[in-house]
Amino acid sequence: MAHSRGKLDLTGQRYGKLTVLEPAENTGGRTAWKCQCDCGQLVVVQTHRLRSGHTGSCGCWGKKKLPGTKLAGLTYVDGTCVEMLRAKTVRSSNTSGVLGVDWLESRKSWRATICFKGKRHYLGSYKRFEDAVRARKEGEKKYHDCFVESFSTPFEKPFLPESGAQAP
């Protein structure tokens, strides 16, 4: 099986009704993933289609748009994707291992940043890695966590696989 190395590992992540199971053979020169839809169907989807929200199911949702969404299966509020904030995916190319923390060689310091509603917020530069991580975690609490926790919709009810229906 041929799949890109040094790319994001999406295994176990959820995108709409899809759960990423494992890497699949590249399609059209792009990294692809074997996913299972909540309805049970298996499907292969390219990384960019999952992360951009263009594919959120095996097709069982069709073109149905849910309230408060831009794309079927993903929930956007003020231009921010709720599912992406929940996933907290760290790229495999991230050298610090912490989302939003990077080393600035020119300043010999760690920089902490966070993106929210289309804007990058500078959280500070730190000599110690632990301080940059702490700043990032505080930024997540301030910007992301409260936003995600306060957001709830009727379609977030648990899925009941035996009946194929949403819980009441």
Distance CA 73, CA 61 (A): 8
Please, what sign has the CA dihedral across residues 50, 55, 61, 67? positive
CATH of the domain at 145: 3.30.730.10
In a domain, 75, yes or no: no
What is the tens place of the pLDDT at every residue in 18-65?
999 999 988 878 888 999 988 888 889 988 888 888 888 887 765 444
Which pTM was predicted? 0.49
> DSSP labels for 50-91?
HHHTS--SSSTTTTPPPTT-SBTTB-EETTEEHHHHHH----
In a domain, 69, yes or no: no
In a domain, 41, yes or no: no
Q: Which domain holds residue 114?
A: 94-150
In a domain, 59, yes or no: no
In a domain, 110, yes or no: yes
Phi-psi region of 80 (alpha: psi -120 to 50; beta: other; left: phi over 0): beta
What is the tens place of the pLDDT at every residue in 86-143?
888 787 778 888 999 999 999 999 999 998 887 889 999 999 999 999 999 999 999 8
Output the pLDDT for position 68: 46
In a domain, 168, yes or no: no
Amino acid at 59: G
Give how many domains the chain has, as a whole number: 1
In a domain, 124, yes or no: yes
pLDDT greater at residue 50 or residue 149: 50
In a domain, 105, yes or no: yes
In this structure, are residues 121 and 113 in contact, taking their beta carbons and an 8 Å threshold?
yes
